[in-house]
Amino acid sequence: MSCTRETGGAAPTRGQKILAATLRGSLSVLLKPAFLSRSPVALQRHWLAALSRTTLPARGVPRRRTVLGPVPVELTGNGHSGTVLYLHGGGYVSGGPVTHRALTSHLAKLADASVAVADYRLAPEHPFPAALDDAHRAYLALLEKGHAPERLAVAGDSAGGGLTLALLQRLRDEGQPLPACALMFSPWVDLTLAETPRTVPGEAMLNRQWLAFAAEAYAGDQRDSAGASPLLGNLDGLPPLLIQTGSDEILANDSERLAEALDRADCDARYQRYPGRWHVFQLHAGMLHDADLALAECRDFLHQHWR
């Protein structure tokens, strides 16, 4: 099997060009306190949560708090096509269901799905493998509640994208039923940062210093383990994967390397690179046309593999 490479997005209109430039400029200024390694973790979390209010959740999509096993989740949507376990980004130190409502609500609405956003434990209070353990428990709870694996998917962005891959590897190694497919948005799959560039032109959100801080806070001296850096683990025997990334982000190389590794693995995968787009641009669904197109691709991918 191999990883199919695709160029995502469409030719932007003048209005979309102006909107994209405005969003990029706003992110580069407003998100700085949330991704400064010297900022207290509490401030990083508060700032990210506050800025998430500038995104646009989909209208008419219900949500409620519940639990999967011991893991709190926000259940978004009540669609009947299938269920997505969503693992949010934030470098394992911040983020939560609230910060990702724009993405998860639009995904739920487009795919006619229920999206269970896991509120997994965060570092440094709960270091590796706490986040992975919580993702594992939440997935097994879905199985215990009667969700058929062929109607399940796992998805995640950034750190949650790496967590998605690590969860699939653990489930495979344990012989547990695997989900029908998985989605990864700008996944962070190598916490060693060995091949992460210092800077990338157009990067609007992340920086290498903060990534190093987050990697140390979460995984410490276990950063090179497959559980923390799943790119370094075995990629054979995983369900179909859809990977989406922007060209203008410091973690784009993680997706490139993952696509190359999947070319050599027993796994069916698609890798979509969106020119001129930033880290987890799908959070701007409902405003940015490319974000809507990307989530429409996710909808089609889910429906292709859900039975």
Report phi then psi at 245, rounded to 5.
Answer: -150, 160
Catalytic-role residue among 74, 203, 249, 297: 249
Map residue 241 onto helix, strand or coil: strand
Specify the residue for token string 């990307």: 294
User: Helices 14-30 and 289-305 meet at what angle, rounded to 10?
Assistant: 90
pTM of the model: 0.97
Please choose, from the candidates 135, 136, 116, the residue with its C-alpha nearest in 3D space to the C-alpha of residue 74: 116
pLDDT tens string 124-139:
999 999 999 999 999 9
- According to DSSP, the residues that pair with 67 across neighbouring strands are 72
Indicate if 136 belongs to the active site.
Answer: no
- One DSSP character per residue, 100-151 reads GHHHHHHHHHHHTEEEEEE----TTTS-TTHHHHHHHHHHHHHHHTT--GGG
Catalytic-role residue among 52, 105, 114, 158: 158
Indicate if 279 belongs to the active site.
Answer: yes
Catalytic-role residue among 88, 106, 136, 279: 279
- Residue by residue, pLDDT tens for the chain (307 residues) are 789 999 998 888 999 999 989 999 888 888 877 888 888 999 999 999 988 888 999 999 999 999 999 999 999 999 899 999 999 999 999 999 999 999 999 999 999 999 999 999 999 999 999 999 999 999 999 999 999 999 999 999 999 999 999 999 999 999 999 999 999 999 999 999 999 998 888 888 899 999 999 999 999 999 999 999 999 999 999 999 999 999 999 999 999 999 999 999 999 999 999 999 999 999 999 999 999 999 999 999 999 999 8
User: Alpha-carbon distance 203 to 205, whole Å?
Assistant: 6
Q: What is the token pair recorded at 218?
A: 């979460």
User: Alpha-carbon distance 239 to 108, whole Å?
Assistant: 21
Q: 163-178 as b/e, with b when 16 or more CB fall inside 10 Å?
A: bbbbbbbbbbeeebeb
Query: What pLDDT score was predicted for residue 33?
Result: 78
pLDDT tens string 32-76:
778 888 889 999 999 999 888 889 999 999 999 999 999 999 999
Strands (E), 205-248: 241-246
Burial of 288 (0-12, 13-18, 19+ CB in 10 A): buried
